[in-house]
């Protein structure tokens, strides 16, 4: 038995309080190396009274990757403290004890020493990672306000273009989308089934994307004003929709009051320590704009730190107490004054952890069920410890799905293995509030990635809806919009029904309704793989709670594939599938979802 592969860490994603009375404990072992795992646990202070070390509970193998197997047990009882160890049985017939001191031969007498066990010393409810319950039941819709709908032409920018008038967009186009336009389409979004709205930045900024903020306290006048925004939030809430805003606290626009002061007064500026300035002088926004066009967007070796070498976006120093106070006041202002439900935090991985802990504390003190979402594109355990974010934009997980379904880059088993590895990085309650999206304003649209194959998009979207996490639709995906890399993925929303893919709209509506109908299973159920076939390119993913399960089968092969009929199963959703007396026949890009009750 390869004991070097054993891994466990108390008070982490390997051992955590999921809910009162439920402690989840995980163990990692070498793949295929361990036959079973016994879990030994009890109160360390009564070890000698009831000899609880003589009893073992069986752990369940819940996931496998290329290298490892993962085991889990839910203690499923209310206790205040717990000492525990693992009795691991190898496929080679050996068995060992794995405890806080390491790996030892199984000797029953050694289990009488309470000092050798892993410990959860005392269960404090305040230490439990709490994620907002409403998020787990939300289907999001991402809106890029400048391109969604122009509801008030009186606030159009001077250089506004006719709606959707260019085949090829530039980064400086303005089309006049605004908050009134979003309000006007709330009926449309409600009909679709959306109950969460994520808006990219709405604060005053010179660009169309608004990620170069100049005033965090004002709605950009091209979008409307604060009175209109308040009405928008109220109307959304009346319809059961939550509203999440986008905050850029990693950097600020060069047009901001703070940077203008630095550019004018240089070393004498009261704001010079608000930024990471290497040397003076630093340029003003006007000086940056007057540079040759090819140097405006990306310049290395600047005398100050920026976001991605973009001169118009100087990086903010969140170590500075004045900056911290300024940003935290902004964060709580929009919660207190407008009752927003979430913050999506741009470039969150480039801001220090200490600031995000203060951000978490300040925001949740105002609204305890506020959703805090970080934009992080990689593994994110460092931010998901319960003191910073509730979830991240789950590019790692969704990217793996796209690699399999759309790009055809990896075999079925590899996709399942990588998804398992990603899921095992987080507590289950964290998995449930991750933010899943196939496309966004930062990546090409999914239909473009799929080369226009709408059936492939439907299969991929459905697979994502089966995953742990809260799903998001990028505006226009539901009507078959296409678009390549930024800025082509930010096209104006298509509102003429004759130009929309209405079948895709109806499919998306049905998919959202399906997600809501089976909310407990899809929000809280455990995930396992039912079948994983490399040669046939078929995968079956299972979400289950107790004796009820949903099993979704997807055929990504080039031939029809038949899923054998299960007398306990009922097909509840599918496309390109034919139900026969012997089973479900899936065409290429076909899928069927079966409800199973034992």
User: Which residues does the annotation mark as catalytic?
Assistant: 346, 375
Q: What angle in degrees, to the nearest 10, is found between the helix axes of 454-465 and 395-405?
A: 140
**111's tokens:** 């289990």
**401's tokens:** 């799905």
CA atoms within 13 A on the CB side of 323: 23
- 334 alpha carbon, distance to own chain's centre: 22
- The DSSP secondary-structure symbol of 221 reads T
Residues 40, 46, 50, 51, CA torsion sign: positive
Identify the burial level of 275 via C-beta atoms within 10 angstroms of its C-beta, where 0-12 means exposed, 13-18 middle and 19 or more buried.
Answer: buried
Q: What is the DSSP string of 113-178?
A: -GGGSEEE----GGGS----GGGGG--EEEE-GGGT----GGG--TTPPPTT--SS--TT------
Residues 273, 275, 276, 278, CA torsion sign: negative
**Strand 140-143 vs strand 391-392: parallel, antiparallel, or unpaired?**
unpaired
**145's tokens:** 């306000």
Beta bridge partners of 548: 545, 597
Q: In angstroms, what CA-CA distances link 27 with 76, 97, 263, 593?
A: 17, 13, 55, 31
∠ CA(471), CA(476), CA(481), 5° rounding?
120
CB 191 within 8 A of CB 200: no
CB 523 within 8 A of CB 542: no
Q: For the chain, give me the number of helices (H) and strands (E)?
A: 16, 26
Identify the burial level of 23 via C-beta atoms within 10 angstroms of its C-beta, where 0-12 means exposed, 13-18 middle and 19 or more buried.
Answer: buried
Residues 105, 110, 115, 118, CA torsion sign: positive
CA 598 to CA 596: how far, in whole Å? 7
∠ CA(11), CA(125), CA(370), 5° rounding?
100
């Amino acid at each position: 038995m390869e004991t070097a592969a054993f891994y466990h860490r108390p008070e982490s994603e390997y051992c955590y309080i999921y809910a009162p009375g439920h402690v989840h404990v995980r163990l990692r072992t070498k793949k295929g190396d361990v036959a079973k795992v016994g879990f030994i646990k009890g109160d360390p202070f009564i070890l000698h009274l009831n000899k609880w070390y003589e009893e073992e509970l069986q752990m369940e193998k819940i996931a496998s990757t290329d290298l490892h197997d993962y085991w889990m047990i839910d203690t499923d009882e209310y206790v205040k403290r717990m000492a525990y160890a693992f009795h691991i049985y190898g496929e080679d017939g050996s068995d060992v004890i794995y405890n806080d001191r390491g790996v030892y031969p199984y000797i029953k007498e050694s289990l009488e020493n309470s000092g050798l066990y892993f410990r959860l010393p005392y269960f404090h409810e305040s230490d439990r990672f709490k994620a907002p319950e409403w998020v787990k039941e939300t289907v999001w819709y991402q809106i890029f306000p400048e391109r969604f709908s122009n509801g008030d032409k009186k606030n159009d920018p001077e250089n506004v273009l006719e709606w959707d008038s260019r085949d090829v967009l530039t980064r400086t186009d303005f089309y006049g989308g605004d908050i009134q336009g979003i309000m006007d389409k709330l009926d449309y979004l409600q009909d679709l089934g959306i109950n969460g709205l994520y808006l990219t930045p709405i604060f005053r900024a010179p660009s169309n994307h608004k990620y170069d903020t100049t005033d965090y306290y004002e709605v950009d006048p091209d979008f409307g004003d604060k009175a209109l925004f308040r009405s928008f939030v109220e109307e959304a809430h009346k319809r059961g929709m939550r509203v999440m805003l986008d905050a850029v606290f990693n950097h600020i626009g060069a047009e901001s009051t703070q940077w203008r002061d630095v550019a004018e007064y240089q070393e004498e500026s009261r704001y010079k320590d608000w930024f990471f300035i290497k040397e003076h002088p630093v340029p003003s926004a006007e000086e940056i704009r007057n540079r040759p066009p090819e140097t405006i967007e990306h310049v290395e070796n600047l005398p100050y730190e920026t976001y991605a070498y973009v001169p118009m976006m100087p990086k903010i120093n969140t170590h500075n107490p004045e900056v911290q106070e300024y940003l935290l006041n902004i964060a709580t202002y929009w919660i207190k004054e407008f009752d927003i439900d979430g913050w999506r935090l741009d470039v969150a991985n480039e801001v220090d952890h200490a600031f995000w802990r203060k951000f978490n504390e300040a925001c949740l003190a105002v609204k305890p069920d506020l959703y805090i979402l970080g934009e992080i594109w990689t593994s994110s355990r460092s931010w998901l410890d319960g003191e910073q974010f509730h979830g991240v934009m789950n590019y790692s997980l969704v990217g793996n799905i796209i690699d399999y379904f759309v790009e055809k880059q990896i075999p079925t088993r590899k996709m399942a293995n990588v998804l398992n590895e990603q899921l095992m990085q987080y507590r289950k309650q964290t998995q449930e509030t991750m933010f899943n999206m196939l496309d966004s304003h930062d990546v090409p649209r999914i239909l473009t990635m799929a080369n226009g194959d709408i059936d492939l998009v439907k299969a991929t979207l459905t697979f994502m809806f089966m995953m742990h996490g809260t799903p998001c639709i990028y505006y226009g995906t539901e009507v078959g919009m296409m678009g390549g890399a930024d800025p082509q993925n930010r096209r104006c929303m298509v509102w003429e029904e004759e130009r929309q893919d209405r079948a895709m709209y109806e499919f998306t509506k049905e998919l959202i309704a399906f997600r809501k109908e089976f909310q407990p299973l899809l929000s809280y159920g455990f995930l396992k793989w039912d079948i994983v076939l490399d040669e046939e390119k078929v995968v079956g993913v299972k979400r289950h709670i107790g004796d009820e399960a949903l099993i979704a089968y997807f055929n990504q092969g080039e031939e029809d594939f038949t899923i054998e009929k299960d007398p306990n199963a009922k097909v509840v959703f599918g496309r390109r599938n034919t139900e026969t007396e012997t089973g479900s026949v899936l065409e290429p890009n076909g899928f069927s979802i079966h409800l199973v009750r034992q």
